[in-house]
Structure 1
Amino acid sequence: MNSKWFSNFASYLSTMTGRPGTFVVAASLVIVWAITGPFFHYSDTWQLVINTSTTIVTFLMVFLIQNTQNRDTAAMQIKLDELIRAIEGAHNALLDLEELEEKDLTRFRKQYENLAKEARTALREGGSDTDSPFVANREVGDEKRRDTDNNDAAHNKPAKRERKD
């Protein structure tokens, strides 16, 4: 089977099934099925129609959703790899990280968990962490932080940024 044909078909189908109109059609079919119940005396065949239909649609949608998710994940990984590659000081060893074995991923994860722990400790001690958004440091005290922010704002000084490499 031609994979390009399937990719195009899956992309089109996932776009179409995600539209509000498709939901309205599906909901309408369920309502029509429910309304026809008394005409068919709620027979086994009547119940089998909806059960079989929903099972088939669900079965096929699993593969469609998985294909779409695989494509989206691959595209996102490429974009992240490009950001890592383009940023000066970023670790190029993180490129294509998703292809590593679990033990290697665990090693990287532990290293970054340690870096995060060190950064949080530094924040609690009144240091700064320029590699992440502002984190409320309640142990240092809100007044101290507000005073510092007000002094910087009064002097129109941008906050100093340090880069850790």
Structure 2
Amino acid sequence: MERGKINFFEKMATRITAWTGSSMAFGVAFGIILVWGITGPIFGYSDTWQLVINTGTTIVTFLMVFLIQKSQNKDSKAIQLKLNELIAASRFASNRMVDIEDLSETELDVLRRFYQKLAEMSEADNDIHTSHSIDAAQRLHKHKKGVVSGLTNGDTGSQE
């Protein structure tokens, strides 16, 4: 697809979704429904009268689904990039969190459980400035594995 065509669709999608989320758009939609309702007795509440509103709302809904999805995808991508920048800029944040939106649902659930555990650890701390991270947790885990391994091999567990 040509760049001009992509930009045209993107610009139109952005404008339309911005407008349809406005009070004016709601007023126009409400006005159309009101006019349709008032004309019911004039047309004897016929099948054609009902078909007009059903067809119109179906078409608008069908098209809006795609425009809204386009807008949400763009917003989502922008938010992810902003979050990635914040993670990359923070010296204490784990860079492993960059692009996690590409993980499977199961992998995300594993991370969610880990962060729930970190939240529980943070709540248990008396010092609210204590930091927990994936990297710190992994270092501690490796350390504990080494101590346990040493204990099973006859080591007393004493540190240097």
Residue in structure 2 matched with residue 95 of structure 1 by the alignment: 98
Partner Cα separation in structure 1 for residue 12 and residue 120 of structure 2: 47
3-state DSSP of counterpart to 2:42? helix
Q: CA deviation at 1:163?
A: 4.3
Structure 2 gap segments, 5+ residues each? 137-160
Residue in structure 2 matched with residue 128 of structure 1 by the alignment: 127
Residue in structure 2 matched with residue 27 of structure 1 by the alignment: 30
Partner Cα separation in structure 1 for residue 50 and residue 131 of structure 2: 65
Higher mean alpha-carbon deviation, 81-90 vs 98-107, is at 98-107
Q: TM-score when scaled to structure 2?
A: 0.75
* Number of aligned residue pairs: 130
Q: CA deviation at 1:105?
A: 1.9
More helix by share: 2
- 1:107-151 Cα distance to aligned partner (Å, 9 max, x none): 2222211111222233xxxx1223xxxxxxxxxxxxxxxxxxxxx
Matches within 5 A, 1:50-89: 50-89=53-92
- 1:84-103 Cα distance to aligned partner (Å, 9 max, x none): 11112110110111012233
Residue in structure 2 matched with residue 158 of structure 1 by the alignment: none
Q: TM-score when scaled to structure 1?
A: 0.73
3-state DSSP of counterpart to 1:38? coil
After TM superposition, the runs of 4+ consecutive aligned structure 1 residues lying more than 4 A away are: 162-165
Partner Cα separation in structure 2 for residue 88 and residue 110 of structure 1: 23
Partner Cα separation in structure 2 for residue 42 and residue 106 of structure 1: 53
The one-letter code of the counterpart of 1:129 is I
